[in-house]
Amino acid sequence: MTIQQPDYNPSGVGEINGNIFGLPCNYESANLIVIPVPWEVTVSYGAGTAKAPQQILDASIQLDLFDFDHPDGWKQGIFMIEIPQDILEKNEYYRTLAAKIIERLAQGEALTATPDLTPVLTEINQAGEQVNQWLFTQCQAAMNKGKRVAVIGGDHSVPLGYFQALAAKYPNYGILHIDAHADLRDAYEGFEFSHASIMFNGLKIPQISKLVQVGLRDISHDEVKMIDQSDSRIIAYYDPIIKQKLYAGITWIDICREIISHLPEYVYISFDVDGLDPKLCPSTGTPVPGGLELEQTFCLCRELVKSERKIIGFDVCEVGDAEWDGNVGARIVYKLANLMDLSLEVV
């Protein structure tokens, strides 16, 4: 299952053919299926990430396909399924409802005050569960055909269904989580499937044996406590501590190797772009000063491949609704796709 068009020129002008990176492949011929999830119902700061799949798709045509890690990576075949318009429409509807709940809580009032918003919260949680189930079904169908999967958000709540699909295949895997936030809150603001709860929900899956978080710098007391009391199931690399080590002369390569040492053989990469310096994706939903450079994250993932661990999947979430953010997001998707392909070639 690779590119089927023998005369395709990867150095040519990117073709607007409806597929990501303009690659000439379809669902059947591609090795990697990219699933867009335009969902950001629970975002509590900036909105716009539901439009990120379209931004990334539009920007991807402008990328040159030579990759320094995997020059022939494009040959694997990468196909992005159509952005589900029904999910996008439901997102707009439920986002309006969620905003009422967020505003009520910000004012210090109970949801049961008049008008009672608890039924609205229940409805939103049910909608989130339906999106999870949709993604689970999409991922499992692709994986059953021997394909790899990548997910593009939306906010960071979206990959839970993929976590669950991987758990049905792998009895033990770890998550390398790049983020400014730990996302370990229990039903943040009452939303069971909040963007701030993805890793809390993920850890309910017993097959996820390790969560290694990198770049954290905006975190609650309860989340730090959860990390400290996790019996090393969660390992956190806080951004200020990373920077202090770098300032002291410890190399980033050494830090990367230490980070990777905590991970099992099979690794999923969950990439929230707010883990980066906000200059790279300034329109992300919850930007935080500080963070990683893009090449630092690629170096980390490159060292993961060199360690002979297998990248079994990835998501890229919280890309903002802006042309520059889409450009950066597309580059992350392409790099992770190529590194995943490389990792699975290692014997």
Query: pLDDT tens digits for 200-216?
Result: 999 999 999 999 999 99
Q: pTM of the entire structure?
A: 0.96
Cβ proximity of 270 and 317 under 8 Å: yes
Residues for the chain: how many in total? 347
Given a contact cutoff of 8 angstroms between Cβ atoms, the answer to whether 318 and 155 are in contact is: yes
Check residues 1 and 310 and name the one with the higher pLDDT.
310
Averaged confidence pLDDT in the chain = 95
Query: At 257, is the pLDDT very low, low, confident or very high (cuts 50, 70, 90)?
Result: very high
pLDDT attached to residue 4: 56
Q: Give the tokens for residue 88.
A: 């996008």
Residues facing residue 314 across a β-bridge: 150, 269
Q: In this predicted structure, which of 110-124, 134-148, 244-258, 265-279 has the lowest mean pLDDT? A: 110-124
pLDDT in tens, 107-164: 999 999 999 999 999 999 999 999 999 999 999 999 999 999 999 999 999 999 999 9
pLDDT score, position 236: 98
Average pLDDT of the segment spanning 26-33? 97
Nearest to 263 by CA among 232, 240, 289, 239: 232
Task: Say which amino acid occupies 233.
Answer: R
- Nearest by Cα to 258 from 313, 216, 211, 304: 304
Q: What is the DSSP letter of 124?
A: H
What is the 3 state secondary structure string of 6-52?
CCCCCCCCCCCCCCHHHCCCCCCCCCEEEEEECCCCCCCCCCCHHHH
Q: How far is Cα 311 from Cα 346, in angstroms, rounded to an integer?
A: 11
Q: Which residues pair with 175 in a beta bridge?
A: 211, 268
Please write the tens of the pLDDT for every residue from 175-184.
Answer: 999 999 999 9
The encoded tokens of residue 154 equal 């939306």
Find the helix or strand (DSSP H, E) in which 331 lies.
helix 323-345
Coil, strand, or helix at residue 152?
strand
Predicted pLDDT at 77: 97
Q: What is the pLDDT of residue 2?
A: 56
